[in-house]
């Protein structure tokens, strides 16, 4: 046989990978195209940024996830265009890939709301490279502060601003607070890392907007206990080398900070606009593609759009959130629909997103969770969180190591992956910055401030 139904999947994230795994069938030939050779478990990326896990522990090579699935090939490539009429996908290198069914799952990227120039000073949290750069920035900031004697400069290097109080921002600020107050507490001689100021900003009136009020309230209290200062109702006006300017209800404030991290918003992959234009369908202002209730594009029943790139709503008109669960369920749905079509079986009922709940971790062994409508917090919520994440990771690889690592770190407060490697996008230049202000004091190192 040679003419099996050809399915092309664009993107190896939650949506694309779920589809590929569900298409494990002799009836179809699957080609999964991604710019990366790995599937990234985004929800744990903040742990890479804060030195708890290595990149290799939150990402799995797509080839190894799919190696046993003989009908599937993985291609490293960038999709730049599609022709929905001749049913072909175009890669940046000129390769043309024909399809019978296409699943577009290209996902989203960080949005600076029209201020892409902020990216230089406030890296986002979408890729392994960005997470590594953020880790570099955070650890480097303490190194620089250790070398400075000017208290104002030192303060700026020990101020960490996190923009966006969604789950990523909350998790990140909690983790940075723990680094400062626990992990590094004995490591420095001139500074006291626990003096670091960690500020979590959001334009919304409270943290964790998608969560119920009571859990958001609990999360706020946990953050305060960790020493994170939460400023809600604050809009970012400017980000540059010196820090950040915010507008809080008309009042403008400038906060000097050498480390700003952007967990502020996402926008659809640029492929969304291309697909929308080729298929003459609407896209929203975030660049997401309007899909029908079966996740296909109107007039193009062979093109599915799933995950963050899809713009649709449930029966009540409430749009689906941009979370992993929506993408996974969408990918599986598209795969099932394609298999039904190949087998000439009746169509599936419309896609329905089944919301299992939301989770956010705040520091060590604490979390808030809204699971099947049940509101839990504290250590129990953390256990739920750990269980769900480990289960997912283990489903791909022997990720039991991650769990062991967490256990060790929780016992020791240490972080294994605390290396400054490569160059951060806004690398500090010791040569130009330190020289003006500091000579090594001739006195002995001060004793480290005792902690209780």
Give the Å distances, CA to CA, from 324 to 71, 136, 169, 420: 25, 27, 17, 30
Give least dist CB 125 to its own copies, A. Answer: 15
439 Cβ partners below 8 Å, 6+ apart? Answer: none
342 in contact with its own copies (CB under 8 A): no
Closest CA to 111 of 39, 41, 43, 166: 166
Site for its own copies in 247-286 (CB under 8 A): none
Please choose, from the candidates 371, 284, 291, 353, the residue with its C-alpha nearest in 3D space to the C-alpha of residue 104.
Answer: 291
User: Stretches 62-70, 222-230, 287-295, 349-357: which one binds its own copies (CB under 8 A)?
Assistant: 62-70
User: Segment contacting its own copies (CB under 8 A): 262-270, 293-301, 323-331, 412-420?
Assistant: 412-420
Q: Is 227 within 8 Å of 174 (Cβ atoms)?
A: no
Nearer to its own copies, 238 or 434 (CB): 434
Q: Which is nearer to its own copies, 189 or 356 (CB)?
A: 189
Q: Which of 19, 44, 59, 310 binds its own copies (CB under 8 A)?
A: 59
- How many whole angstroms separate alpha carbon 125 and alpha carbon 38? 16
Q: Which of residues 425-444 bind its own copies (CB under 8 A)?
A: 430-435, 438-440, 442-444
- How far is 433 from 259, CA to CA, in rounded Å? 15
Query: Which tokens go with 176?
Result: 């940075």
Least distance in angstroms from the C-beta of 404 to its own copies: 7
Site residues for its own copies, window 90-149 (CB under 8 A)? 91-98, 128-129, 132, 139, 143, 146-147
Q: List the structure tokens of 18.
A: 């779920």
- Verify whether residue 146 is a known catalytic residue: no
Residue 82 in the binding site for its own copies (CB under 8 A): no
Half-sphere exposure of 265 (CA within 13 A, CB side): 15
Q: Residues 209, 313, 394, 419: which binds its own copies (CB under 8 A)?
A: 419
Relative to beta strand 101-104, strand 300-305 is: parallel
Window 1-30: residues binding its own copies (CB under 8 A): 1-2, 4, 29
The binder of its own copies chosen from 24, 25, 61, 238 (CB under 8 A): 61
- Please identify, using beta-carbon distances, which residue of 74 and 310 lies nearer to its own copies: 74
Q: Does 194 bind its own copies (CB under 8 A)?
A: no
Q: By CB under 8 A, is residue 85 in contact with its own copies?
A: no
Site for its own copies in 388-407 (CB under 8 A): 397-398, 400-401, 404-405
Say whether 16 sits in a helix, a strand or coil.
helix
- Contact pick of 75, 353, 392, 403 for its own copies (by CB under 8 A): 75
Pick the closest to residue 106 from 275, 242, 225, 245 (CA basis): 275
Closest approach of Cβ 67 to its own copies, in Å? 4
What minimum distance in Å lies between the beta carbon of 187 and its own copies? 4
Query: How many whole angstroms separate alpha carbon 209 and alpha carbon 215?
Result: 10
- Catalytic residue (choose from 171, 178, 194, 347): 171
The dihedral of CA 24, 30, 31, 34: what is its sign?
Answer: negative
Out of 204, 365, 383, 420, which residue is the one contacting its own copies (CB under 8 A)? Answer: 420
Q: Is 204 in the site for its own copies (CB under 8 A)?
A: no
326 vs 303, 305, 357, 361, CA distance in Å? 18, 12, 11, 20
Q: CB of residue 420 vs its own copies: minimum separation in angstroms?
A: 5
57 is a contact residue toward its own copies (CB under 8 A)? yes
Q: How far is the CB of 6 from its own copies (least distance, A)?
A: 9
Measured over the CA atoms of residue 404, residue 405, residue 406 and residue 410, the dihedral's sign is: positive
Which segment (156-164, 179-187, 239-247, 306-314) binds its own copies by CB under 8 A?
179-187
**Contact indicator for 159, 258 with CB cutoff of 8 Å:** yes
The answer to whether residue 38 forms part of the interface with its own copies (CB under 8 A) is yes
Q: CA–CA separation, 171 vs 119, rounded Å?
A: 20
Place of tokens 């009836």: 27
Residue 129 in tokens: 């490279």
Q: How many residues bind its own copies (CB under 8 A)?
A: 79
CB of 38 to its own copies, least distance (A): 5
Selected binder of its own copies within 117, 187, 213, 427 (CB under 8 A): 187
Phi, psi of 290 (to 5 degrees): -65, 125
Which strands sit side by side in the sheet containing 88-91, from one edge to the other?
Answer: 79-83, 88-91, 96-98
Q: Kindly tell me which of 61 and 286 has the beta carbon lying closer to its own copies.
A: 61
Name which of 1 and 315 has its Cβ closer to its own copies.
1
| 451 touching its own copies, by CB under 8 A | no
Residues that are catalytic = 171
């Amino acid at each position: 046989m040679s003419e099996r139904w050809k399915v092309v999947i664009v993107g190896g994230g939650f949506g694309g990978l779920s589809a590929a795994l569900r298409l494990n069938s002799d009836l179809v030939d699957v080609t999964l195209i991604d710019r990366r050779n790995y599937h990234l478990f985004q929800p744990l990326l903040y742990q890479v940024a804060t030195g708890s896990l290595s990149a290799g522990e939150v990402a799995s090579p797509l080839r190894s996830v799919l190696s046993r699935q003989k009908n599937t090939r993985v291609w490293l490539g960038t999709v730049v265009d599609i022709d929905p009429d001749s049913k072909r996908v175009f890669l940046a290198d000129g390769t043309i890939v024909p399809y019978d069914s296409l699943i577009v799952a290209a996902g989203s990227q960080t949005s600076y709301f029209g201020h892409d120039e902020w990216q230089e000073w406030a890296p986002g949290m979408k890729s392994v490279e960005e997470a590594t750069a953020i880790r570099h920035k955070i650890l480097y900031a303490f190194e620089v502060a250790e070398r400075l004697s000017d208290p104002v400069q030192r303060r700026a290097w020990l101020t960490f601003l996190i923009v966006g109080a969604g789950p990523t921002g909350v998790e990140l600020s909690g983790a940075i607070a723990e680094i400062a107050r626990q992990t590094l507490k004995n490591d420095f001689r001139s500074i006291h890392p626990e003096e670091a100021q960690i500020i979590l900003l959001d334009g919304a009136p409270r943290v964790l907007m998608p969560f119920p009020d009571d859990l958001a309230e609990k999360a706020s209290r946990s953050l305060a206990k960790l020493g994170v200062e939460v400023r809600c109702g604050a809009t970012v006006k400017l980000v540059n080398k010196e820090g950040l300017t915010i507008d809080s209800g008309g009042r403008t404030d400038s906060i000097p900070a050498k480390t700003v991290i952007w967990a502020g918003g996402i926008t659809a992959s640029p492929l969304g606009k291309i697909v929308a234009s080729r298929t003459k369908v609407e896209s929203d202002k975030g660049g997401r593609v309007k899909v029908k209730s079966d996740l296909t594009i109107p007039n193009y029943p062979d093109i599915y759009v799933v995950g963050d790139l899809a713009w649709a709503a449930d029966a009540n008109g409430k749009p689906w959130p941009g979370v992993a669960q929506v993408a996974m369920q969408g990918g599986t749905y598209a795969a099932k629909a394609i298999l039904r079509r190949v087998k000439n079986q009746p169509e599936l009922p419309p896609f329905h997103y089944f919301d299992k709940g939301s989770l956010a971790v705040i520091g060590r062994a604490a979390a808030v969770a809204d699971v099947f409508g049940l509101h839990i917090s504290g250590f129990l919520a953390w256990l739920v969180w750990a269980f769900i994440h480990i289960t997912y990771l283990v489903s791909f690889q022997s990720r039991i190591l991650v769990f062991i690592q967490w256990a060790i770190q929780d016992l020791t407060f240490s972080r294994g992956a605390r290396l400054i490697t490569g160059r951060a996008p806004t690398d500090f230049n010791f040569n130009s910055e330190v020289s003006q202000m500091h000579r090594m004091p001739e006195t002995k190192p001060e004793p480290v401030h005792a902690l209780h």
